[in-house]
Amino acid sequence: MKPGRYTELFFLDEVTAFAAGHRPCAECRRADYNRLVEIWSELHPGQHGADAIDDQLHVERLVPDTRERRLYEADFDELPDGTFVLHDGNPCLVLGASLRPWSPGGYLTPLPRQAGKSAAVLTPPSLVGVLSRNWSPLVPFLHPTATS
């Protein structure tokens, strides 16, 4: 892909895009992008614009030498709804008192959230910070299967 071109990615829902380390498009989702920039400025004073956000997300999602997915540990009790974690090696959405296993077609049967334990987190820390501030985009935040 050439610099300055669009990344042609489509996700099941907003939280899946966040888990992959992507932000709303500044052109086609301007209102969501502007809201993200407001929150981002609180989380990262001095970082302005899409390039700064993308650079930070890139650092948070990949290990530089191996380009493997960067994970980090956090307490389940501290993770906001919309965060993705690994549970038994599978990506799961944290939602209320449950974990919803992810699949390309939607979320599967809920599992209990592991209260009092830690999790390997997939969603980059900066985007967990955005979710902690009650992120509410104009596009679907959750696929309908997350709450069915």
Query: 62 forms bridges with which residues in the sheet?
Result: 69
For the segment 91-102, the average pLDDT, to the nearest whole number, is 97
Phi, psi of 146 (to 5 degrees): -70, -25
Q: Where are the domains of the chain?
A: 14-146
Please determine, for residue 142, whether its predicted confidence score (pLDDT) is greater than 90.
Answer: yes
Please determine, for residue 3, whether its predicted confidence score (pLDDT) is greater than 70.
Answer: no
Please give the Cα distance from 83 to 99 (Å, whole number): 10
Q: At which residue do the structure tokens 């669009």 appear?
A: 6
Phi, psi of 12 (to 5 degrees): -60, -40
Q: What 8-state DSSP symbol labels residue 66?
A: T
Pairing of strands 118-121, 72-75: antiparallel
Q: What percent of the chain has pLDDT over 90?
A: 83
What's the longest Cα–Cα distance across the chain? 45
Amino acid at 139: V
Amino acid at 99: L
- What pLDDT was estimated at residue 4? 65
Q: Token pair of 83, please?
A: 């965060």
